[in-house]
Structure 1
């Protein structure tokens, strides 16, 4: 696979309305306190770094982002809007790129994958990329291509499971649909449009305990094919397509309930006949919010992994919004947000595709105004560093035995560096040290995680990207509880800590990296 990728490498939407979310009353009126001044002693150097300026909390922005980003498409579109507002230039993968030192650029793929980057003013061909990578998708239910079904006089919606969700948590929730549709105009042209039905539209009801007396003793074990179909309505519409009329009807009308098409058309502002294709996720309608006795927790769906996406996005924008912030930068700062991590990343828009590496090649080629010797891209990759950011398992107070005794990350204690001897995570001693050195200088807390030997270990996009062409990688994540539930939770302080750590990574990693040489 690595050889294949090396071979491949060689050859403004309208702003969304402001949310009137109740959580804003719970946010502090003042900015977060500045991090403590770092000690002058460095493990790699005796140099001093200036104290960082106070950083405002980004928790409010994260909640807005979560409430806009019900699907991977909406998450990418919202990131696109924010990048445009911040002055980044939108590129097309189909066009020639004319890049300049000091420039800020981005592109999207499939409207579910995004790569953004800022070129240092002192960049020279062969210098590295400092990258934070995350993923935009989360476990959910998705509509099947033929979603219309009937059970005992009820209109049901056929769904398929996506990823490894805790599917029992989707029962008895006020659910709805969001995603994208393809529209056909009267002139024969086609249009791609995002849609989000905000009101509760569907629900997966549980069976009453009176009809399932042993559920509490035997466990709730629904059949995912028979018991997970959401209920849309009871009465069948008179407009339902009959078998005699199918020849004259569009395939969309045959595949989906007319009532569903009507709801979608009203939301989009088009005729039902214009909808010729769709890709919809089932979504929970409950807004993301703050909670807990001290309002110290974030309750939300899709924290895995939109919390990491937003921290990466904000850290890139805020570390390069003024020209002087890039004036001494020798590297290229980049974020890469991929789709389909929850199902293995093997897609055009997933981390298994050479998207990021193709972008790196094109960037090097565009900035190579004259010959800089052989192997410019290979030298750049060897000098690069990747932070694979994906949520981490916090210690569960009701199940402490599920964690290895000496590696128990906790909420509100900072980013978690993930280790695995069998390379389920891509962290090494060197990459962990470099990432922790940034935290030490800025007095930021860091935790470490190792899975128990008697339990299986999950993985991330880190090993996929690290092994593609050999980029040094550290796997890390914000600690959370209820991972892959329809409703997850994490600590508010950990969001700001991750943001500060990521921003510091962009601002100072180039200087730290040159002080440690392993192979020469």
Structure 2
């Protein structure tokens, strides 16, 4: 994986429960510090997929290619596999030793993306002596939280090498950008009260001062062949980071990110604040649970496939080649089924035997805004994973699928909470209803409770990281038996 970009900090005294980790004979552990390492190494979905791939390769998972056949001996009972689509969506699965084509899949779904600022296709921008970058708002961020923070760049870069083209990962650790607030003295009383951000004019970050021709660096000539859409100074920084010539950079899919690493805090070290917890926390717990189930002896008598699907583009609606609205989920189930000799009828049975836990962070009650929650549905930090219900189908939870999670939580000895939005408030949504409507797979929506959702830094409880992992591990190991005991028509 990519090393942590944050400077070392002295941790507060920590009770065992806050940093508790859970491990199996496979050796992997799940903990709040482990989550911080994962998030710090994953400033974009591209980096996350790279980190996830390295994690699972180290546990014996085999990489597959979507463009190659899977039905010619590529998949075997007891096997562990993963693949990426478009380098920002990640799928991994472990096939039970007793798997048959129609047996079904146990799926945990999450998403890899978060609200961010992304470089525009033409990012070169300047104003009043400052060199700036043109950025586009991705998703629905609390954009005022991006002001006055030390920012840098990460993502995917297309590079020419020897007449061929390849994708390279970028993760610039050095702070190089900042979006300054306007000082209070230059704001009217109305402007101060509104905290109003114009997304086009107020969010352009400063890169550096514009230098005169006399003061330009000696290597300016090396930038003559650079892409005219971007500032040569920016491309020089990226080229130095990647170890390539400036002219070799052909295109960018690059995101701004906060260089300050995540932090565990509080007198009892019970809270964790970090960028991108929505939804990297569930990417982390899903990866850890799948690996521990697959490598801890759980596959031997397992009759189903255990799957994780981590989609890009959830924050912008999921309609893309590799979002939850794509055929990806159907493709995975169909190819698994057919690789084990299943026909169309077996595929339909496999779908009906499958179950999806759609995992995306939930709204914890905020002590300063308690009236925003309905009194009987007010999740707390460190009290367990939240089941999200909405009768208008903004969440896919039903009485039957919600029961499954409550019972799995009971068997895993972890807390379980409930959330329903107030009738006079809008309700967000997740990948759950999208996948349920496209596949017919039984689905429940859940999530770790959080504060400051869509801020540049969000907050969760440390104990919820471990309890969510335990729930997923119980799902992979115990759902098949529980499902046999249920007769929900």
Matched, 1:490 2:460: yes
Q: What's the offset of the Cα at 1:254?
A: 1.1
Q: 1:197 to 1:128 in 2, by over 3 A?
A: same
Q: CA RMSD in A?
A: 2.4
Q: 5+ unaligned residues in a row in structure 1: which ranges?
A: 1-14, 36-51, 242-247
Please give the alpha-carbon distance, in whole angstroms, between the structure 2 residues aligned to 1:116 and 1:162.
Answer: 26
Please give the alpha-carbon distance, in whole angstroms, between the structure 2 residues aligned to 1:334 and 1:382.
Answer: 15
Q: 1:69 to 1:18 in 2, by over 3 A?
A: closer
Q: Report if aligned partners of 1:154, 1:236 keep a CA contact under 8 Å in 2.
A: no
**Residue aligning to 1:85:** 58
**Residue aligning to 2:219:** none
Matched, 1:254 2:228: yes
Please give the alpha-carbon distance, in whole angstroms, between the structure 2 residues aligned to 1:273 and 1:27.
Answer: 50
Q: Report if aligned partners of 2:99, 2:302 keep a CA contact under 8 Å in 1.
A: yes
Q: 1:26 to 1:66 in 2, by over 3 A?
A: farther
For the residue of structure 1 that corresponds to 2:429, the secondary structure is coil
Please give the alpha-carbon distance, in whole angstroms, between the structure 2 residues aligned to 1:386 and 1:316.
Answer: 14
**Residue aligning to 1:479:** 449
Matched, 1:235 2:210: yes
Query: Counterparts in 2 of 1:388-403, with a 5 A limit?
Result: 388-403=358-373
* Residue of 178, 191, 197 corresponding to 2:172: 197
Q: TM-score, normalised on structure 2? A: 0.93
**Residue aligning to 1:43:** none
**Residue aligning to 2:36:** 63
**Residue aligning to 1:518:** 488
**Residue aligning to 1:94:** 67
**Residue aligning to 2:9:** 22
Q: What's the offset of the Cα at 1:325?
A: 1.6
Q: 1:17 to 1:480 in 2, by over 3 A?
A: closer
Q: 1:257 to 1:53 in 2, by over 3 A?
A: closer
Q: Report if aligned partners of 1:121, 1:328 keep a CA contact under 8 Å in 2.
A: yes
Q: Report if aligned partners of 1:361, 1:377 keep a CA contact under 8 Å in 2.
A: yes
Q: Report if aligned partners of 2:107, 2:307 keep a CA contact under 8 Å in 1.
A: yes
Please give the alpha-carbon distance, in whole angstroms, between the structure 1 residues aligned to 2:112 and 2:348.
Answer: 28
Please give the alpha-carbon distance, in whole angstroms, between the structure 2 residues aligned to 1:157 and 1:24.
Answer: 36
Q: 1:378 to 1:256 in 2, by over 3 A?
A: same
Q: TM-score, normalised on structure 1? A: 0.88
Deviation >6 Å, runs of 4+: 52-55
**Residue aligning to 1:434:** 404
Q: What's the offset of the Cα at 1:239?
A: 10
Q: Report if aligned partners of 1:33, 1:54 keep a CA contact under 8 Å in 2.
A: no
Q: What's the offset of the Cα at 1:210?
A: 0.9
**Residues matched between the structures, number:** 477
Q: 5+ unaligned residues in a row in structure 2: which ranges?
A: 217-222
Please give the alpha-carbon distance, in whole angstroms, between the structure 2 residues aligned to 1:298 and 1:132.
Answer: 23
For the residue of structure 1 that corresponds to 2:100, the secondary structure is coil
**Residue aligning to 2:220:** none
Q: 1:27 to 1:364 in 2, by over 3 A?
A: farther
Matched, 1:112 2:88: yes
Please give the alpha-carbon distance, in whole angstroms, between the structure 1 residues aligned to 2:207 and 2:95.
Answer: 50
